[in-house]
Structure 1
Amino acid sequence: MLSLLKKPEQETRMPDKIQSAKDLFTSGQFPVVTTKEMPGKNVKRIIGLAAFRGYDMEQAFYGMITRALSNGANAIIGYRENVAFHPDGSKYISCYGTAVRQIEVKA
């Protein structure tokens, strides 16, 4: 009976795709920048908008990277974020940018 009254434990482990996106970003293999270009790189192809919304920053940010990766991107340029608050006190975070395929500039 007591087990029915217990709140279920929230899962703290990230889904595999989001964990992979986090690993790529933190290792420097998937850059996310606020500028329109990156030094030493040329945009080979613009894939388009990569956006994700969530209730916490980590979920929204790495979800955005996951969406970009699933469309073949290797970077996000023009990154922006927005936080909206609901009257009940909850917050809603949006992360978005332009997913691109970049190549190294040869010297």
Structure 2
Amino acid sequence: MALIFGSPKKQAPAKDDIGSDHRLAMARDMYMAGKMKLMTTEAVPGREIQSAFGLIVCRSYNFDNAFYGLMAQAVDVNADAIVGYRETIAFHPEGDKYYSCYGTAVRMKKIK
């Protein structure tokens, strides 16, 4: 039997669970407690950047995993803020969404 209208719909990828990944849960807790700053601008108001670790990117079919995965990567490099934060969504023709979150991981100077 031939398919006239294309291939059958693919199965959606398994949804990731933030609760099963310790790094994501820790990153979420840090962000919610205000210990990790996230700015869409290139600076944190009233603070100076001590060092920049570079661009970090996290992608997933689940927004929470992409967002908190980005935070976890920042924690991994000992950053305490992400500046220049951006996010994009790519739409698959079959309806799936693919989230990309990215920004520059930085370490802020201590407040005196």
TM above 0.5, yes or no, is yes
Q: 1:73: Cα distance to partner?
A: 0.7
Letter in 2 for 1:73: A
8 A Cα contact 1:50 1:65, kept in partner:
no
What is the RMSD computed on CA atoms of the aligned residues? 1.5
| Match of residue 76 from structure 2 | 70
Q: Residues 39 and 105 of structure 1: is their aligned pair in 2 closer, same or farther, counting only changes over 3 Å?
A: farther
Deviations 1:38-94 (A, max 9, x none): 112110001001110011211100000111111111110000000000111101000
Gapped regions of structure 2 (runs ≥ 5): 1-14
Q: 1:11: Cα distance to partner?
A: 7.3
Instruction: Provide TM-score, normalisation by structure 1.
Output: 0.84
Pairs aligned (count): 97
Letter in 2 for 1:66: A
| Match of residue 22 from structure 2 | 16
| Match of residue 65 from structure 2 | 59
- Report whether the alignment pairs 1:42 with 2:44: no
| Match of residue 3 from structure 1 | none
SS at match of 1:41: coil
8 A Cα contact 2:66 2:100, kept in partner:
yes
CA distance in 2, matches of 1:50, 1:73: 11
CA distance in 1, matches of 2:71, 2:65: 10
Residue identity over aligned pairs, in percent, reads 40
